Amino acid sequence: MKVEIDQKSGFCFGVVNAVSKAEEALQSNDKLYCLGDIVHNGMEVSRLETLGLITIDHKKYFTLKDCKVLLRTHGEPPSTYEYARENNIELIDATCPVVLKLQQRVRRAHEDMQQQQGQVIIFGKKGHAEVKGLLGQTGNRAILVENEADLEQIDPQKPLVMFSQTTKPLDDFHRLSAKIQERAQAPTDIKDTICRQVANRVPRLKIFAAGHDVMIFVGGRKSSNAKLLFAVCQQANPNSYFISGKEELDTNWFTGHNSVGISGATSTPQWLMEEIAEIIRKI
């Protein structure tokens, strides 16, 4: 049986950078906290925790003093940095450069829109870590939209600027932004801020999944990116299966088939996909 790993899958450069910073900091033997899961992949989080990484939530963070905290790729609102300055917390900032640049653009747009009595619109998932960081740049005054029903919050008489969470699907962004422009009666400025390293995986993944008898997609259950990319696999290949670890493999999936493709989300480590590929080869 031919087993092939999608070489365009796995960690994006932002996650590679965050994991590298965590591993480097852990070598000092100092206690290192991470604000939220460093990646939405339980297997990789567990691996880093065995090295000493301590994952905490925001409630715990706002009780800390005199320590070292890693900020993951998704980015944080200004309040996180303010608390660190006031409480002698050393921050290891692993915010993805793409997200960091977007935060800066959102902050400047908010300042401009305030002068024009306008609106900042964020297309993203409610509660997502990156979205919380973006909203924080506007003092949580930006309008968050997830779907067409949310457009009712937008005042068509006021100017607006729209941004997107970096990992949202391009098609959804284009469809929603077109609806906003149809309704608007004031100047609109639509900013396509979707990360192409993520978006470009979709067309490549369609071809890869269709080229195999069976498709195994490896991802964390918490990962929005994993859910999106797995849906792409299912559309291209009905024999697609979502797993988070090797224990979820079912030998019946491979009966009568000659080729297996393996792919993963931007938060899926290469070592995990290789481990699963080796098990499938033995099957």
The one catalytic residue among 130, 152, 248, 278: 130
Identical fold for domains 2-9+198-282 and 98-195, yes or no, is: yes
Ordered by start, the domain boundaries in the chain are 2-9+198-282, 13-95, 98-195
CATH number of 13-95: 3.40.50.11270
Residue 184 tokens, joined: 């608007």
What CATH number labels 98-195? 3.40.1010.20
130 annotated active-site:
yes
User: What is the pTM for the complete model shown?
Assistant: 0.88
**Fold assignment, 2-9+198-282:** Cobalt-precorrin-4 Transmethylase; domain 1 (3.40.1010)
Q: Name the binding residues for [4Fe-4S] cluster.
A: 12, 96, 195
Angle at 51 between CA 49 and CA 56, to 5 degrees: 30
Q: pLDDT 10s per residue in the chain (283 long)?
A: 899 999 999 999 999 999 999 999 999 877 999 999 999 899 999 999 999 999 999 999 999 999 999 999 999 999 999 999 999 999 999 999 999 999 999 999 999 999 999 999 999 999 999 999 999 999 999 999 999 999 999 999 999 999 999 999 899 999 999 999 999 999 999 999 999 888 889 999 999 999 999 999 999 988 888 998 999 999 999 999 999 999 999 999 999 999 999 999 999 999 999 999 999 999 8
Binding residues: 12, 40, 74, 96, 128, 166, 195, 223-225, 267
Binding-site residue ranges for dimethylallyl diphosphate: 40, 74, 128, 223-225, 267
Q: Which two tokens mark 251? A: 């030998």
Amino acid at position 16, single letter: V
